[in-house]
């Protein structure tokens, strides 16, 4: 029955095209209303467009932010009539036997490279709440350039009042999950930002990716199922390919070790409390 075979082939071809379309739609980067230096939305809507802007836009001005210990700079960038602010970090410090909080690190690193690694890893995990960041050399200084988030508050400001405690709690659980994965020892109230819709944004990861083969703390108690599925589905090679431009071999090994520990930790929580409690 050749007609039947042809018909089946057509149906399968159509089905294959539908599947490819769905995959493309799922994997396409999200469009966002990025805000320019004038406080208004810009024509750039995807992360790739923002990254290209950060890499190539002209530096119009540069000023010290005045907070933090690494003297980060606030840049005004301009390209094709678009102006946006960005943060330039050039810190690259390697210390021995450093005490950060209540933890002593045999090797402690503070690096602009980690800002780029945190962004790339968060993007692959589908978090979309670390601002785009990319390496760049400005006036012979190597560092990272990260998009400045306009119209935001941090947790130190009096106006900071999340409207929905349950939504806010889920965002905090996601942040704790990510901080344990990247071993960020510097998540202060000043680097937790919210936009007008109280979406949580994580900034300042220059002290993440420490060479530690353990979890950061015990605040990973619940996790978004979609994030969990992404973490367990990524192979070691896939994770290496994401962070390899920014991390060295030892830093990547520690990251993979912590990924394994997080997986074991969540499995234990599921055994103790059940999936319906742990996943949201």
Residues 119/163, Cβ–Cβ less than 8 Å: no
Q: What is the dihedral of CA 43, 44, 45, 47, to 10 degrees?
A: 180
Domain boundaries, the chain: 89-129+151-278
Q: What is the pLDDT of residues 59-107, one digit of tens each?
A: 999 999 977 667 899 999 999 999 999 999 999 999 987 887 778 888 8
Neighbours of 155 (CB within 10 A): 14
pTM of the model: 0.87
Q: What is the pLDDT of residues 127-182, one digit of tens each?
A: 999 999 999 999 999 999 999 999 999 999 999 999 899 999 999 999 999 999 99
Residues 201/194, Cβ–Cβ less than 8 Å: yes
Q: What is the mean pLDDT of residues 41-67?
A: 96
CA dist 271 → 223, 225, 228, 241 (Å): 14, 16, 16, 32
Rg (CA), the chain: 21
Q: What is the mean pLDDT of residues 255-272?
A: 98
Q: What is the pLDDT of residues 177-227, one digit of tens each?
A: 999 999 999 999 999 999 999 999 999 999 999 999 999 999 999 999 999
């Amino acid at each position: 029955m050749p007609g039947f075979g042809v018909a089946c082939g057509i149906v399968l071809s159509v089905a294959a095209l539908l599947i490819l379309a769905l995959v493309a739609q799922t994997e396409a980067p999200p469009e966002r209303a990025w805000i320019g230096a004038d406080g208004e939305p810009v024509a750039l809507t995807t992360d790739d467009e923002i990254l290209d802007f950060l890499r190539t836009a002209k530096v119009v001005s540069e000023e010290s932010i005045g907070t933090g210990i690494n003297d980060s700079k606030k840049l005004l960038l301009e390209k094709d009539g678009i102006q946006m602010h960005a943060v330039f970090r050039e810190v690259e410090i390697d210390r021995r036997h450093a005490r950060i909080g209540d933890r002593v690190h045999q090797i402690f690193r503070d690096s602009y490279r980690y800002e780029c690694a945190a962004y790339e890893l968060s993007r692959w995990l589908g978090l979309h709440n670390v601002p785009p960041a990319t390496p760049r050399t400005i006036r012979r200084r190597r560092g990272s350039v990260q998009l400045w988030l306009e119209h935001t508050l941090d947790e130190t400001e009096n106006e900071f009042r999340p409207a929905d405690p349950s939504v806010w709690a889920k965002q905090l659980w996601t942040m704790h999950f990510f901080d344990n994965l990247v071993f960020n020892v510097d998540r202060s109230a000043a680097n937790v930002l919210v936009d007008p819709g109280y979406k949580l944004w994580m900034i300042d990861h220059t002290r993440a990716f420490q060479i530690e083969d353990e979890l950061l703390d015990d605040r990973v108690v619940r996790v978004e199922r979609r994030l969990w599925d992404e973490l367990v589905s990524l192979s070691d090679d896939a994770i290496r390919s994401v962070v390899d431009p920014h991390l060295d071999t030892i830093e990547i090994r520690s990251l993979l070790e912590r990924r394994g520990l997080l997986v074991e930790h969540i499995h234990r929580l599921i055994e103790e409390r059940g999936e319906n409690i742990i996943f949201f």
